[in-house]
Amino acid sequence: MRDKICIVGLGYVGLPLAHAFSEKYEVVGFDINQLRIDELNAGYDRTLELTEEQLHESIKNGMKFSDNVEAIKECNVYIVTVPTPIDSSNRPDLTPLIKSSQTIGKVLKKDDLVIYESTVYPGVTEEVCVPELEKISNMKFNEDFFCGYSPERINPGDKEHTVTKILKVTSGSTPEIADRVDELYKSIITAGTYKASSIKVAEASKVIENTQRDVNIALINELALIFDTMDIDTNEVIAAAATKWNFIKLTPGLVGGHCIGVDPYYLTYKAEELGYKPNLILGARQINNGMGKYIAEQTIKSMIKNDKKIKDSSILVLGVTFKEDCPDMRNSKVVDIIVELKSYGCKVDVYDPWVDPHEDKKSYKHGIIENPFEQAKKYDAIVAAVAHQQFRTLSQDDFNRILNENPVIIDIKGIVEKPTWRL
């Protein structure tokens, strides 16, 4: 029997994966968000990961989108790509994963395969998800149904490193299933696959990818804080140090998004549960989480030096997504800057050409405005927070047109020619 694949969760990870599989398999995309399903059926992807042409191509290939469980009961491979967030205490929230497993359990059949792609701490697939599948389906793991884990490596907004062009780690609950999972992904991943020895190894490999990056960025951020107190340009220091062949060149900045700013907490949670205190990882998280507040404080200090009145001052923040050239606002640390500036009594406008102002008013309420460079309003300070291409082309004259006297320009991403202060 040829595999019929169900992708559970049609966000930044699931939709591109469903599109890739639809070129060779019959695919059903499942999501509990009816609005999302309606938009996809109409050929619109609000994440901008797929173009309208790509969506229609997938539909033409036979891919269906549905929020109805009945639509997925004929599938025999279920791939779960739902988010794995953290709660207000930075503890893993496995609710989406558990509910997805329960949904699949309702339609699970003999010899079906369930593959998880969501980032988790080692053990979640077999210790949390499998019991839910067994309980709902009344079937036995590795006898009646099987599981695999293949961590997602999607890079939101990246049109070069797309899902099929990134090497894929795979794993399975038995040696035979590991081979089957590997062959399934190998059929669409042109970059190739790497078969891990176990599901737990594959789970761990994913969570340390982002943990390592988080720790490295935290080091650069801490160095930036030190050099700032010494009145030394951090970027000039990095440029000099990078002349050595084995220096890892990173730049300071905000660490947000659904991965790097979240995944380390999954690993630290499990480590502490087992009695180990991961001081380095937690320290890195503390540094990176504090950067938004620090940048806001430097903005206020720069304004005071320029004899700016702080209360009721007008500040423009350029960009609110967690990274450049992408509409993804999940866990954006720019929000920390906005909140901190408002706590000083500043009036903050946010301009981000990648975010719909009407959508912001409905869901986020960050104060996103239309293009300020086409308006008459003037500002006391500008914070260039995200390096969108639209901001990279702005000149000093563009900034001057919307700034009051003795302006302050804060540059977080190294895109302003003559900033007042640069991270």
Just list the catalytic residues: 259
Q: How far is residue 423's CA from residue 421's CA, in Å, rounded to a whole number?
A: 7
Nearest to 96 by CA among 207, 157, 14, 178: 14
Whether the CB-CB separation of 77 and 3 falls below 8 Å is answered with yes
Nearest to 97 by CA among 75, 113, 111, 114: 114
Q: How far is residue 257's CA from residue 214's CA, in Å, rounded to a whole number?
A: 12
Q: How far is residue 241's CA from residue 233's CA, in Å, rounded to a whole number?
A: 13
Cβ partners under 8 Å of residue 268, min gap 6: 278, 281, 282, 285
For residue 252 the two structure tokens come to 């300071």
Query: What does residue 145 show for φ and ψ, rounded to 5 degrees?
Result: -140, 165
Whether the CB-CB separation of 69 and 106 falls below 8 Å is answered with yes
